[in-house]
Amino acid sequence: MGMNCVFKMDANIVMLGTGNVGKSALTVRFLTRRFIGEYGHIESIYSHNVLVDGRETAFNIWDAPCSQCCESSRQEKQAQWADGFILVYSICDRASFNAVARMVPHIRAARDHAGAEKVPIVIVGNKRDLHHYRTVSSEEGRLLALGTDCQFYEVSAAENYHGVLMVFHGLAERIREARAAGRKPAAAAAGIKGIVKSMSAVFARKRTESL
């Protein structure tokens, strides 16, 4: 087991998505295997060491409530820091899906440049247990991911631990592959400005929509 330390990998993951979609619920489910129902609105960076395919992996997960995600200094830090993104929407909330759809190309444009590996992104449709209230079909989620080279999962943080595990492990695998294929994905200075601007735009628009 000690030998695994040689291969220890750090994976900095940023959770993004509009309010109430379950970013904290997914994070806490992954960390503790539990669903506790209410999570408050506290920004946290959690660290968690686990084995992914026999490799020791240190997950650092940045979970910020949506109310704070418009602050550009925070977005700039996140964009610099992230090795991978988890973009969360609720299958019962069409606006949250639209926000994710707008975010993906902006992250791609900001973080991906010629010759570099694409920054790994996982799109997650959460609250699958509430299928009676579904307004976003699985097909739409799948197509969005397919067209933008993202991974896609539909999960329920409330009801299923395994699906949530797959999200985080899947992203860790992609981060490892991206590193093996090239250098560690890093944001170019211009790219960071781009991502900050576009994330502000996405969330500003979301606010207007919900008024």
Ligand X SMILES: Nc1nc2c(ncn2[C@@H]2O[C@H](COP(=O)(O)OP(=O)(O)OP(=O)(O)O)[C@@H](O)[C@H]2O)c(=O)[nH]1
Provide the binding-site residues for ligand X, judged by CB under 6 A.
17, 19-25, 37-39, 41, 65-66, 126-127, 129-130, 156-158
| CA separation for the pair 176, 183 (Å, rounded) | 11
Retrieve residue 34's tokens: 């539990």
Retrieve residue 118's tokens: 């694409």
Looking at the Cβ atoms of 107 and 178, the one nearer to ligand X is 107
Q: How far is the CB of 13 from ligand X (least distance, A)?
A: 14
Q: How far is the CB of 139 from ligand X (least distance, A)?
A: 20
Looking at the Cβ atoms of 127 and 176, the one nearer to ligand X is 127
Q: How far is the CB of 42 from ligand X (least distance, A)?
A: 8
Looking at the Cβ atoms of 128 and 176, the one nearer to ligand X is 128
Helices 94-111 and 138-148: angle between axes, nearest 10 degrees: 10
What's the Cα-to-Cα distance from 59 to each of 13, 101, 160, 183, rounded to whole Å? 7, 25, 20, 19
Helices then strands, counting H and E runs in the chain, come out as 6, 6
Task: Look at residues 37, 16, 20 and name the one whose alpha carbon lies nearest to residue 28.
Answer: 37
Looking at the Cβ atoms of 70 and 186, the one nearer to ligand X is 70
Looking at the Cβ atoms of 116 and 130, the one nearer to ligand X is 130
Looking at the Cβ atoms of 131 and 184, the one nearer to ligand X is 131
Q: How far is the CB of 168 from ligand X (least distance, A)?
A: 15
Q: How far is the CB of 46 from ligand X (least distance, A)?
A: 13
For residue 9, report the phi and psi dihedrals to the nearest 5 degrees: -120, 140
Q: How far is the CB of 141 from ligand X (least distance, A)?
A: 15
The answer to whether 13 touches 82, Cβ cutoff 8 Å, is yes
